[in-house]
Structure 1
């Protein structure tokens, strides 16, 4: 189940960059974020209603949902959308990968989770690998001011995302359900973003082009409603540090799509970076269990699936 959830998150979030690019245009990025999470919350509320899941929670629990909504479905995505206006997608992906490090530190501070040297080294290896993959694209950026502004926006968004991870972990630790909690949190996130847009006088226009609407639909349904339920479920099962490693893996999906649709040219350094990310990814997910299984068996004996589970 962990591998299934992990693969789903990597696949869906790896393709959301296309949707975000489709939405960057005549509509204010913050307004696009509001539209995205209004639709995503609506999809989840319909799903919850169809399954007749309980939706009544105490005011203190709604405050928890609202905190996650503000951190994970509002402010951080507004910052990321604006960040994407200044930086190439590869650099944005690299910045988002720092959520692994943020989650490790924040998990230690707020959840008292132990930090293993293996996870830290693997996370660093993943970030180094992605830097190798996108290094040429990053170095080609010529506007230094835009780069600095974009990096600051991306770092702020990633830090907020990490705080949202920690808050979601706390919510699951006290027994709050993932699906209903995500529905309420997305609803609150959409509300906060809408109020923020009204406060700054943003124009709530809609671009009725197939390009914009297709991106909005994909981001709301697949990139948000489905992907976040899978991610938060995974987060509750394996912890924020290991779950966040999906943010290191999903840029590989984005790079594959760039190769197909944007004619990305591979370099030897990029190939080495991909191999480094995959190796570090496999080590974080299964290294400890693999070594434990190998120690229990005589040399030369195969490891079966039950021992790896």
Structure 2
């Protein structure tokens, strides 16, 4: 598969998973839906690697577990809660700023320098988000929108913590494929524990769209999307592959406009443009040396 195909597939998959998340929000408890997603994805990954004789056991499990909790459990609980409150396309825009969270967390956990361009990218992105939600939060205060933004930002931050764990795992010689394969299974078990503790029932939806979304999120979003992105990184490097993060919110917003009746305003358009510009500025930093460690994992 050529580089253009890998990039196109990665952007399309990441841009469409957000509407799938929205389709799962409803009669089935959020934690149960996420459990179904990663239980299926984990089985596919682990069995698939075993059949190809490529399944490896991590030599250190601690940070694999932390990665699992951050990438395949708590972060998605927050993102699914956000999907119940704000359009999926806007969640994608918030999530696209994960690279800025990564830069801050890399400074806190690994001592990496935060460059001027990182500060500039963060400032542009934050301004863009403020403009996108200006009407709901300032002109006509909407508490539900505020909560949705909060959940989306929390999910993005937790995902960034998972990226830091992935970076540490890589330094220990644990490949992202190995960590994510076991991580999906561990995340599913953790979700099952939360379901039992919370006394939730393992209910099943009767809506066909729910099951279509589940299969899409598990097989395409979690397994295929992750694999194509790793192949893209191997082909062109993490910095160039990271531009997929700039593009997928555009796909998500178009889908949200069609299926969720998202209403565009001049402020929202300006905000989206600024947010995407912030991502471009972020990924144009040539001095980022460790980006492949914390950009290896996606929705």
**What TM bracket, shorter-length normalisation?**
0.7 to 0.9
Spell out the pairing of 1:153-192 with structure 2 (5 A cutoff).
153-192=151-190
For residue 186 of structure 1, report the CA deviation from its aligned partner.
0.6
Spell out the pairing of 1:1-309 with structure 2 (5 A cutoff).
8-58=9-59, 61-133=60-132, 135-136=134-135, 143-144=142-143, 146-229=144-227, 238=238, 249-286=247-284, 288=286
Answer with 2-11 or 245-254: which moved more. 2-11
Q: Which runs of 5+ in 2 are unaligned?
A: 288-299
Partner of 1:305: none
For residue 259 of structure 1, report the CA deviation from its aligned partner.
3.1
Asked if structure 2 preserves the Cα contact closer than 8 Å seen for 1:182 and 1:229, the reply is: no
- State the TM-score, normalized to the length of structure 2: 0.80
**CA offset digits 1:268-298 (Å, max 9, x no partner):** 4444344434444444334659xxxxxxxxx
For residue 71 of structure 1, report the CA deviation from its aligned partner.
1.1
**CA offset digits 1:106-157 (Å, max 9, x no partner):** 101212222211133124323433444454466687642x345444433332
Q: Which runs of 5+ in 1 are unaligned?
A: 290-309
**CA offset digits 1:93-114 (Å, max 9, x no partner):** 4543443332111101212222
Cα 1:148/1:71, change in 2 over 3 Å = same
Asked if structure 2 preserves the Cα contact closer than 8 Å seen for 1:91 and 1:138, the reply is: no
For residue 178 of structure 1, report the CA deviation from its aligned partner.
1.7
Which has the higher Rg, Structure 1 or Structure 2? Answer: 1
3-state DSSP of counterpart to 2:205: coil
Cα 1:223/1:187, change in 2 over 3 Å = same
Asked if structure 2 preserves the Cα contact closer than 8 Å seen for 1:178 and 1:229, the reply is: no
**CA offset digits 1:54-112 (Å, max 9, x no partner):** 42333xx2222211111110111112212322334355345434433321111012122
Cα 1:272/1:92, change in 2 over 3 Å = closer
Q: Which has the higher helix share?
A: 1
Asked if structure 2 preserves the Cα contact closer than 8 Å seen for 1:100 and 1:123, the reply is: no
Cα 1:273/1:116, change in 2 over 3 Å = same
**CA offset digits 1:154-188 (Å, max 9, x no partner):** 33322211110100011112221221221101110
Distance in 2 between the 1:204 and 1:140 partners? 41
3-state DSSP of counterpart to 1:86: coil
CA RMSD, aligned part only? 3.3
Count of residues in correspondence between the two structures: 284
Answer with 28-37 or 155-164: which moved more. 155-164
